[in-house]
Amino acid sequence: MDRIIVALAADHAGFALKQVLKDDVVAQGFAVLDLGTDSEASVDYPDFGHAAAKALVDGRAARAIIVCGTGIGISIAANRHSGVRAAVCTDATAARLARQHNDANVLALGARLIGSEVARDCVRAFLATEFEGGRHSRRVAALG
């Protein structure tokens, strides 16, 4: 049976957190598509938000986790792609509700705003939660 693929991407500010989260994603039974960056050398966060979104749109990944300093810039880049619903989350409840109610397929995290344990909790909630559908389907469809 093929494992579900989760794309991971981060800029320089999110590199260290991405590396921590990579092991957690694998431990939860998912395969990882690491889209970089590969160091703390300065890079442009939009490049990595776009790369993660393209991996979803192209079908190379089912979900994505993206990290920059705040999660905001990289999520804006990802959300420019049709069918991508990136949610910036700062706790596990937000990550769970982003999946349940918004069918978010991208979790965006801010490495300068939350610690690694909170980020790990967010990832666990995001990957373990399914979209509820029902009344939420109409709202998600209205997003475009």
Half-sphere exposure of 36 (CA within 13 A, CB side): 14
Percent of the chain whose pLDDT exceeds 70:
99
Write down the catalytic residue from 12, 50, 81, 101.
Answer: 101
122 among known catalytic residues: no
Q: What is the mean pLDDT of the chain?
A: 96
How confident is the model over 51-91, as pLDDT tens digits?
A: 999 999 999 999 999 999 999 999 999 999 999 999 999 99
The whole-angstrom distance between residue 110's C-alpha and the CA centroid of its chain comes to 11
Please, are residues 56 and 64 in contact by the beta-carbon 8 Å criterion?
Answer: yes
CATH code assigned at 72: 3.40.1400.10
Domain that holds residue 53: 5-142
Based on the structure, what is the number of domains in the chain? 1
Write down the catalytic residue from 12, 50, 68, 89.
Answer: 68
89 among known catalytic residues: no
How confident is the model over 54-65, as pLDDT tens digits?
A: 999 999 999 999
Pairing of strands 31-34, 106-110: unpaired
Q: What is the pLDDT of residue 121?
A: 98
User: Whole-prediction pTM value?
Assistant: 0.97
What 3-state class would DSSP assign to 97? helix
